[in-house]
Amino acid sequence: MVVVVGELRNDASHWKGTRGEGQHGTRPEDPAPFSSDAAVYSKQMTAASVQTGAAVVDFPSAATEQWAAQISAGLDSVRPTEREHVFSDLLPGFVKADARGAARFAEGYNDPDGTHVEVMRVVAENWVRLNFDDAWSWASRLRDANERDTMQSCICFEAAKSDPERALRALDSGDLDERQEAILGNLAQMWATRDLNAALAWAESRSSGDSRDRLVAQVALAESSRAPADAARIVAEQMPAGGAQESAVLALLDVWTPQDPDAASAWVAQFPEEDLRRRAEEKIAGILQPQPLVVKLPVGP
């Protein structure tokens, strides 16, 4: 069976009997398990083609094709509830039934309003909850560099909710651009909230340089709201003097000063470098300075 989604956007009648007319709450049945009989299995794996937008995508079963057809119709709907149903129920269900089929559908789904990226994101985030390695492998093979980076970021942030170390190490396994470096820092902070010592040891083990110093700073800042004195020791003892350390000091004071201005001031007073000490003292003074009261007067006679 061949379903040409791009040509059916304005012909809802063509879908009758195929997708339950796209009503909210309808859902194709999950694909039946593949037979252990080799001949039957071969027939089941005979691909049907679903053309979404300009791309042709192969799916392994009619049930998977039905998922794709119903989701495409829902995305084409002008009803907000039907589109919401796609993202909250149908796409997650498709991933659970056939993650690779859902991924192929997402890659091939082209649209004029930017929905493609959102479809990809939902597939990636749901897939990584089922199998991190498979989801990461899929994202890593995407041809478009921006799309690849975006999906890897989505996978990492979703995975980091339960296992930030695994997400961080996966992202760190390749060459990082500036955007990925920033994401790596965010993941390091997430890891530090779960296991400060492990995250700090990882950051310190990296080659010396600005990247290493920024990661140590972000690990320290993850600790600042819970134990600012411990974060201060990391900044003072584990970071070399320089711009990264100065930025970490000032960022830490933003958190520490409102909590305990006396302790923050006492820490700053120990700084051996006069210029940094002066900047830090000015930072504390600015935080503690009462803000002017702004009174809005009525306008008009």
pLDDT digits over 112-154, tens only? 677 999 999 999 999 999 999 999 999 999 999 889 989 999 9
| pLDDT of 91 | 96
How many whole angstroms separate alpha carbon 13 and alpha carbon 169? 49
pLDDT value at 33 more than 60 = no
Give the 3-state secondary structure of residue 4. strand
State pTM to two decimals: 0.66
- Give CA–CA dist 122/101, Å, rounded: 14
Looking at the predicted structure, is the pLDDT value of residue 6 above 60? Answer: no
The region, left, alpha or beta by phi > 0 then psi within -120 to 50, assigned to residue 163 is beta
Give the Cβ contact number of residue 147 at 10 Å.
15
* Contacts with 184 (C-beta within 8 Å, 6 or more apart), sequence order: 168, 171, 172, 176, 215
Share of the chain above pLDDT 70, in %: 76
Distance from C-alpha of 11 to C-alpha of 144, rounded to nearest angstrom: 32
Q: What is the dihedral of CA 83, 84, 85, 86, to 10 degrees?
A: 60
Least confident of 6-15, 21-30, 100-109, 240-249: 6-15
Name the residue ranges covered by the structural domains of the chain. Answer: 1-31+42-124, 131-185, 195-287
Alpha carbon distance 129, 10 (integer Å): 35
- The residue ranking higher by pLDDT, 110 or 247, is 247
Confidence of residue 159 (pLDDT cuts 50, 70, 90): very high
Most confident of 23-37, 121-135, 165-179: 121-135
Confidence (pLDDT) at 17 = 30
- 42-51, 116-125, 257-266: which has the minimum mean pLDDT? 42-51
DSSP 26: -
Q: Name the token pair of 198.
A: 């492990």
Is the pLDDT at 198 greater than 90? The verdict is yes
For 217-252, write each residue's pLDDT tens digit. Answer: 999 999 998 999 999 999 999 999 999 999 999 999
Q: Is residue 71 a contact partner of residue 102, using CB atoms and an 8 Å limit?
A: no
